[in-house]
Amino acid sequence: MGSLPDKARIRAEGALLIDLIRKSMEKTNWDAFIDLADKLTKVKHTFVTGAGRSGLVARSFGMRLMHAGLPVFIPGETNTPAAEQGDLLVAISCTGSTGYTKYLADRASELGAEVIAITSDSDSPLSLNASLNILIPVDEEDIVLKAGVFEHTASLCLDALFNVISKRLKIDAEAFRKRHANLE
């Protein structure tokens, strides 16, 4: 009986998150995601990065791109090749000022790779060096809530982008199944 108020609180917090994510998605520039989809299928290598929970979103997106049969890598992993001219780095950061993510974006740019920033701040250090900024607007001041909304929204938007790429590439269930992890 004592946990009933907590259940109601958790349900209310969940409803708030869903509402904030919906509002963020409504304000998102979907044309920028289409631009990203166009680039992903044309580059030799795609690298995806982020730190913390944004890093988890990046890794999840990388897994989806692998499922689509696209050449994708996570910087820092032992099987990641050298970045070079014509490659693509997708950098995800809510604030756009995360040191690790900004460093990788700067380094990729120095090496001739194109940098795409996914962030909630179009004036961030990450955004300034990117050729394409995908803004995911979040109208929250509390950084914990803002980051949570950003990460969930980014994940949903990138899954939607994967669905578009899958249809473009005509990936059927069997091809998807062949690329899905099987050492589980």
**Active-site residue numbers?**
151
Taking alpha carbons only, the member of 57, 41, 53 closest to residue 159 is 57
Q: What is the chain's percent helix, strand, coil content, to nearest 5?
A: 55, 10, 35
159-181 in b/e form (b: 16+ CB < 10 A) is: eebbeebbeeeebeeeeeeeeee
Cα 127 to Cα 13, 63, 98, 164, 181: the distances in Å are 31, 24, 12, 25, 34
Q: Which two tokens stand for residue 57?
A: 């979103």
Cα 85 to Cα 10, 20, 62, 79, 109: the distances in Å are 48, 38, 20, 19, 9
Q: Which two tokens stand for residue 19?
A: 């509402």
74/80 Cα distance (integer angstroms): 6
Phi then psi dihedrals of residue 28, to 5 deg: -70, 140
